[in-house]
Amino acid sequence: MYVSDTGCVHSVQAVSDFAKNEQAKKEGRKFLRSCNFMGISSRLSASICTSRASNTWKAYRPWVEDWQSWVAQKGFKVITPIVVATFLTRVKSHKSVAQAAAALKLFFSLHNICPNPANSVVVALVTANARRSGLPAKRKSAFSKSQVQKLLTYLQTNPSLPNLRLASMISLCFMGCLRINECVGLNLCDVIESKDCIELRIRGAKTDRDRNGQHTLITKTGGSFCVARVLHSYLGAAQLTIGHTGPVFRIVRHVSKRMTGHAHNASRLTYTIARDALKDALKASNIKGNYSWHSFRAGAASEALRLGAAVDLVRTHGRWASWEGMAPYVERTVQQKSLCVPLLGIVIVRCAYFLDRYSPQHWRPLDCLD
- The order of strands in the sheet holding 3-4 is 3-4, 262-268, 250-254
pLDDT tier for residue 108 given thresholds of 50, 70 and 90 = very high
Whole-number pLDDT of residue 370: 38
The confidence score (pLDDT) of residue 264 equals 65
Q: Supply the pLDDT for residue 73.
A: 92
- What pLDDT is attached to residue 232? 92
| pLDDT tier, 261 (very low <50, low <70, confident <90, very high otherwise) | low
Instruction: For residue 61, name the pLDDT band (cuts at 50, 70, 90).
Output: very high
pLDDT above 90: percentage of residues in the chain: 28
DSSP 139: P
In the predicted structure, residue 342 carries a pLDDT above the cut 90: no
User: 10-19, 36-45, 169-178, 204-213: which range is least confident on average?
Assistant: 10-19
Instruction: Compute the average pLDDT of residues 39-45.
Output: 84
Return the percent helix, strand and coil in the chain, to nearest 5.
55, 10, 35
What per-residue confidence (pLDDT) applies to 135?
Answer: 63
CB crowding 91-128: b at 16 or more within 10 Å, else e: beebeebbbbbbbbbbbbeeeeeeebbbbbeebeebbe
Q: pTM higher than 0.75 for the full model?
A: no
Is residue 55 within 8 Å of 23, Cβ to Cβ? no
Q: Per-domain residue ranges for the chain?
A: 6-133, 145-329, 340-369
Q: Is the pLDDT of residue 364 over 50?
A: no
- pLDDT category at 165 given cuts 50, 70, 90 is very high
Contacts of 132 (CB under 8 A, 6+ apart): none
Mean pLDDT, rounded, for 4-30: 59
Burial 260-293 (b: 16+ CB within 10 A, else e): eebbbebebbeeebbeebbeebbeeeebeeebbb
Interstrand relation of 3-4 and 262-268 (parallel, antiparallel or unpaired) = parallel
Q: How many residues does the chain have?
A: 370
What's the chain's average pLDDT? 79
pLDDT digits (tens, 9 = 90+) for 139-162: 778 888 899 999 999 998 988 999
pLDDT of residue 360: 44
Judge whether residue 109 has pLDDT over 80.
Answer: yes
For residue range 262-312, what is the model confidence (pLDDT) as tens digits?
Answer: 656 678 888 899 999 999 999 999 999 889 998 998 898 888 888 888 888
| Continuous segment of H or E residues that includes residue 214 | strand 214-219
Say how far apart CA 91 and CA 70 lie, in whole Å: 12
The CA distance from 34 to 55, in Å, is 16
Q: Which pLDDT does position 92 carry in this prediction?
A: 79
pLDDT at 30 over 50: yes
Split at pLDDT 50, 70, 90, the class of 218 is: confident
Q: Indicate the SS3 state at residue 200.
A: strand
Residue 358 has pLDDT above 90, yes or no: no
Write down the CATH superfamily of domain 6-133: Tyrosine recombinase, N-terminal domain (1.10.150.130)
Let me know if domain 145-329 sits in CATH 3.30.70.120. Answer: no
pLDDT score at 116: 92
CA angle, 323 then 328 then 333, to 5°: 100
pLDDT at 346 over 70: no
What 25-34 contacts at long range (C-beta under 8 Å, 24+ apart), as own/partner pairs, is: 25/49, 25/50, 26/54, 27/54, 27/55, 27/57, 27/58, 27/61, 28/52, 28/54, 28/57, 30/57, 30/61, 31/57, 31/60, 31/61, 31/64, 32/110, 34/61, 34/64, 34/65, 34/68
Q: Quick one: which of 81, 142, 111 has its CA closest to 293? A: 142
| Helices and strands per DSSP (H, E), number in the chain | 16, 6
Give per-residue pLDDT as tens, 175-213: 988 989 889 989 999 999 888 888 888 876 766 666 667
Q: What is the pLDDT of residue 5?
A: 40
The predicted structure's pLDDT at residue 123: 92
Q: What are the distances in angstroms from CA 287 to CA 69, 109, 143, 169, 255? A: 46, 48, 10, 18, 32
